[in-house]
Amino acid sequence: MTKSKQVFKIKSVKTYNKIFKEKASVKLDIGCGENKQPGFIGVDFRKLPGVDVVQDLSLFPWAEIPSECADMVMASHLLEHIDPSPSDPRLSGLIDLLLEKRLVTKKEIDTSVGEYRYLGGFVRFLDEVWRVLKYDGQLIAVFPYAGSHGFWQDPTHINPITHVTLAYFDPLAKDSDGNLYNLYQIYRPKPFKIVKCFYDPNGFIEVALEKRRIDPSYNVISK
């Protein structure tokens, strides 16, 4: 007995907006693959069973996800796969040249490349999470601690994160002695609050980051 082949059609932006508006509480499971959390809207770049919104999370901005739509964003074993590198200046120069010579259109670049100038992939990624979250909404994430066996065993793990890495995204983050880390000022991304952070240097990090409102004292400079 053979199973009939499932056909997955790419939904329109209008259909996606309906998905978000129909729910009183929107919870996104980004990079869910085929393992979407119950009660969540599944987001992945692949058209898999359980994926509600097809979106390449490496292209910024996430065109299929509206701003301030989510009460919660779940990222289970995803952040360690996000390329932390800044954009290649050669790529941006080439795209500028193609646009100048009118060999491609801005719409084509937006669709196929997305933003091609940004500070760093991971910084820009969390800026985008901040955008889609409602104020006081939270990012819940779990990932292997940088340098642990769980991190190094997978050849696709390219983004090492420790508990201190998270302080780069919280302007008021403090160390175990109660002193400000003062790491946020280096890149000044969109601000989060570290609500919870449990970690084992030989295992995993479980973290809850809450979207902060922008305060002039944070001196945010990223998009």
The pLDDT of residue 17 is above 50:
yes
d(CA 104, CA 8): 29
Mean pLDDT along residues 11-21: 64
The pLDDT of residue 221 is above 70:
no
The pLDDT of residue 18 is above 80:
no
Domain regions of the chain by residue span: 13-85+120-218, 86-119
The pLDDT of residue 10 is above 90:
no
pLDDT, averaged across the chain: 89
Mean pLDDT along residues 67-84: 97
Q: Looking at residue 71, what is its pLDDT?
A: 97
Three-class SS state of 123:
helix
Q: Looking at residue 222, what is its pLDDT?
A: 58
Summarised one tens digit per residue, pLDDT across range 28-56 is 999 999 999 999 999 999 999 999 999 99
Q: 89 vs 6, which has greater pLDDT?
A: 89
pTM, two decimals, is 0.86
Mean pLDDT along residues 107-134: 90
Summarised one tens digit per residue, pLDDT across range 172-193 is 999 999 999 999 999 999 999 9
Task: Read off the pLDDT band of 119 (50, 70, 90).
Answer: low
Q: Give, in order, the Cα–Cα distances in Å from 164 to each of 7, 170, 194.
A: 44, 10, 11
Q: Looking at residue 25, what is its pLDDT?
A: 84
Overall CATH class of domain 13-85+120-218:
alpha beta
d(CA 75, CA 215): 26
Q: Looking at residue 116, what is its pLDDT?
A: 84
Other C-beta atoms within 10 Å of 53: how many?
Answer: 20
Mean pLDDT along residues 154-182: 96
Q: Which residues contact 18 (CB under 8 A, 6 or more apart)?
A: none
